[in-house]
Chains A and B, each alone.
Chain A
């Protein structure tokens, strides 16, 4: 992992176009999924996806290869979303925990419906997606980072710029909220 990170860091310093192309391909699903979960909107997630990679190009020299590339990538994406939220509503992502202010998740892609993916495990997907709508953004985010992206708690603390203890408490609450939401959805 360390060698791979170092290679990426070196390539980013040189703004290696082939490396960037490869990274965009490699991380497209994970980054897009993360952005959809934190913005709650696929169209917005597309914008942030592109903007994130532009930032990776511009600030690639800041990645030192000591941490996982995906943790650095998600941190960039998250900061972009927070900056946008602040400029739009003069509030942080954390402030969106108020369910009345939070944007609902809109996971369906109207432009390009995916019949295959809809057919596959449709029932589970719908259940998860409708359940995730009920979970505040900060909990949704930690659940995604931990259980989908499988980041370590320390890495999550780096991405989220919060103490490890806060990550843990959000995970506990998020887990409880997810289970509760799924139970509620199934009932």
Chain B
């Protein structure tokens, strides 16, 4: 039997297990296996290898699930404690934006008055007015950074041993 036929046979042995065969491929493959002892043996060995892989047992530590459930429970409790803080932060931001929009005309006049009073160029106090709007966002970023810093200081029993 030619090398080409064996090569095709070996390829189809793998293909049958990886992605399946078309009908024509299956017909050829089955006929080939009947005639070719080499490929037939190869197919049996592949089946045996996969059967052994499927049935190979790995012992799971007896209390692994229980320990994991306990850790997950602790972490869930931590997350629940943090949730009100985060909600408060978002509420504070929202209130700040709403207040900012409502007070914008007055703040504009205040900046204008201050600019005229100090003789500041118009562009400078206009930029100042623009920056005024970033204050709530800056505040939120600072709070989040502080919170992250606090979290990283906590004992991290989740870290893996190096």
A and B from one complex: yes
What per-residue 1/0 map shows which CB atoms of B58-70 lie under 8 Å from chain A? 1111101101110
Interface residues of A in 165-187 (CB under 8 A from B): 168, 171-172, 175-176, 178-179, 182-183
* CB-CB nearest in chain B for A144: B53
Residues of B22-76 contacting chain A, CB below 8 A: 42, 45-46, 48-50, 52-62, 64-65, 67-69, 71-73, 75-76
Q: CB-CB < 8 A to A128: which residues of B?
A: 52-53, 56
Q: Known contacts A121-B55, A182-B45; decide if A111 and B72 are in contact (CB<8 Å).
A: no
A54 touches B72 (CB 8 A): yes
CA distance A175 to B17 in the complex (A): 9
Check: B160 CB closer than 8 A to any chain A CB. Answer: yes
A143 with B53: CB separation less than 8 A: yes
> Contacting B58 at CB < 8 Å: which of A36, A44, A127, A171?
A36
**Cα–Cα, bound, A50→B55 (Å):** 25
With a cutoff of 8 Å between Cβ atoms, the chain A residues found around residue B73 in the complex are 17
Whether A117 sits at the interface, judged by CB under 8 Å, is: yes
Q: Which of A3-11, A19-27, A69-77, A93-101 contacts B (4 or more CB under 8 A)?
A: A19-27
A129 and B160 contacting across the interface, CB-CB below 8 Å = no
Which chain A residues lie closer than 8 Å to B56 at the CB level?
Answer: 124-125, 128-129, 132
Q: Are B59 and A111 in contact (CB under 8 A)?
A: no
Q: Please measure, in the bound complex, the distance between the C-alpha atom of A15 and the C-alpha atom of B48, giving whole angstroms.
A: 43
Query: Would you give the 0/1 interface string for A18-41, flagging 1 where the beta carbon is closer than 8 Å to chain B?
Result: 001100110011001100100000
Residues of B within 8 A of A129 (CB): 56
How close is A175's CB to chain B, nearest CB, in angstroms? 5
B interface size (C-beta, 8 A): 38
* B contacts with A: majority SS: helix
**Nearest CB of A to B89, in Å:** 18
List CB contacts (< 8 Å) of A91-144 with chain B. Answer: 107, 109, 111-114, 117, 120-121, 124-125, 127-129, 131-132, 143-144
Whether A148 is near chain B, meaning CB under 8 Å from some CB there, is yes
A16's closest neighbor in chain B, by CB?
B76
Q: Across the two chains, which residue of chain B brings its CB closest to A178?
A: B49
Residues in B with CB closer than 8 Å to A29 are 58, 60
What CA separation (Å) do A147 and B42 show in the bound complex? 18
Interchain CB contact under 8 A, B60 and A32 = yes
Q: Which residue of B lies closest to A153 (CB)?
A: B19
Whether the pair A28, B55 counts as a contact (CB closer than 8 A) is no
Does residue A151 face the partner (Cβ distance < 8 Å to B)?
A: no
* A117 close to B57 (CB less than 8 A): yes
Closest A residue to B46 using CB positions: A179
Contact B55 A124 (CB under 8 A): yes
Q: Which residues of A contact B14 (CB under 8 A)?
A: 171-172, 175-176
Contact A182 B19 (CB under 8 A): no
Contacts A128-B52, A147-B53, A179-B45 given; indicate if A24 touches B59 (C-beta within 8 A): no
- Besides A50-B71, A53-B71, A124-B52, 13 more A-B contacts (Cβ < 8 Å) are A21-B69, A51-B160, A107-B58, A124-B56, A132-B53, A143-B53, A144-B53, A146-B18, A147-B50, A148-B54, A171-B14, A175-B49, A182-B49
Offer 7 A-B interface pairs, CB within 8 angstroms, sorted by A: A42-B61, A54-B71, A84-B160, A124-B52, A125-B56, A147-B54, A182-B48
Q: Which 10 A-B pairs have the closest CB atoms?
A: A114-B59, A128-B56, A171-B18, A128-B52, A182-B49, A28-B65, A47-B160, A33-B58, A117-B57, A179-B49
